[in-house]
């Protein structure tokens, strides 16, 4: 008799063994089904992990871009502020020259735009009387005849130096 052969056993025992064998067969089928489902789940988890890694990389790249954007936005704001300051200084210099004031008086002019600066330049010039109208008496052009107002302060310093050396 072998382990599989139950013919020598009584009918009740044989029936019980067949029942146990059928139950074991059903349990093996359930176990195989569950193993397949576990395998599918593991595959889905691996795919989700890969997608998560991809999304994490994209979020990291987006954070880096956001940092660059913030940096460029701040730099842009600084450039705009610098441009505004530079433009106001240029406007002061131009208004001073147009009003016949020496360039060294340009920083004394008050105002936030050209019109306000012009009004202040005229008031300042009037407060100086005839003393403030004597702007630099040099040719304000370069060798080609183009106006070069930024050389006025240099010319003024040279004239002062020459006058002191002639005395």
Residue position matching structure tokens 């005229």: 122
Task: Say whether both 24 and 72 belong to one domain.
Answer: yes
pLDDT value at position 72?
A: 97
Answer yes or no: is 80 within a domain. Answer: yes
Task: Say whether both 122 and 144 belong to one domain.
Answer: no
- Residues 146 and 144: their CA atoms lie apart, in Å, by 6
- Residues 55 and 58: their CA atoms lie apart, in Å, by 5
Task: Say whether both 70 and 127 belong to one domain.
Answer: yes
pLDDT value at position 106?
A: 87
User: Which neighbouring-strand residues pair with 93?
Assistant: none
Answer yes or no: is 164 within a domain. Answer: yes
User: Which neighbouring-strand residues pair with 141?
Assistant: 147
Q: For residue 96, how many other CB atoms are within 10 A of its CB? A: 27
Answer yes or no: is 22 within a domain. Answer: yes
Domain count, the chain: 2
Q: For residue 93, how many other CB atoms are within 10 A of its CB? A: 20
Domain hosting 60: range is 11-135
Task: Say whether both 77 and 158 belong to one domain.
Answer: no
pLDDT block averages, 10 residues each, the chain of length 167: 78 94 97 97 97 97 97 96 90 90 89 89 82 48 60 68 63
Answer yes or no: is 2 within a domain. Answer: no
Report the predicted TM-score, pTM, of the whole model to 2 decimal places: 0.44
Task: Say whether both 60 and 124 belong to one domain.
Answer: yes
Answer yes or no: is 3 within a domain. Answer: no
C-alpha pair distances (Å), 72 with each of 5, 60, 61, 68, 76: 85, 18, 16, 6, 6
pLDDT value at position 114?
A: 86
- Residues 136 and 81: their CA atoms lie apart, in Å, by 32
Task: Say whether both 150 and 78 belong to one domain.
Answer: no
- Residues 107 and 125: their CA atoms lie apart, in Å, by 14
Task: Say whether both 104 and 26 belong to one domain.
Answer: yes
Task: Say whether both 91 and 160 belong to one domain.
Answer: no
Q: For residue 149, how many other CB atoms are within 10 A of its CB? A: 16
Task: Say whether both 131 and 151 belong to one domain.
Answer: no
């Amino acid at each position: 008799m072998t382990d599989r052969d139950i013919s020598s056993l009584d009918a009740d025992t044989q029936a019980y063994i067949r029942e146990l064998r059928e139950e074991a067969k059903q349990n093996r089928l359930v176990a195989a089904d569950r193993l397949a489902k576990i395998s599918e789940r593991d595959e889905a988890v691996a795919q989700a992990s890969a997608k998560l890694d991809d999304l994490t990389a994209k979020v990291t790249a987006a954070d880096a871009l956001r940092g660059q954007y913030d940096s460029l936005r701040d730099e842009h704001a600084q450039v705009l502020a610098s441009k505004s300051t530079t433009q106001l200084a240029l406007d002061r210099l131009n208004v001073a020259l147009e009003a016949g004031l020496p360039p060294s008086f340009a920083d004394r002019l008050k105002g936030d735009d050209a019109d306000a600066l012009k009004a202040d330049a005229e008031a300042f010039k009037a407060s100086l009387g005839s003393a403030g109208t004597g702007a630099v008496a040099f040719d304000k052009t370069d060798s080609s005849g183009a106006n070069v107002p930024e050389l006025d302060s240099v010319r003024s310093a040279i004239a002062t130096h020459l006058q002191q050396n002639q005395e």
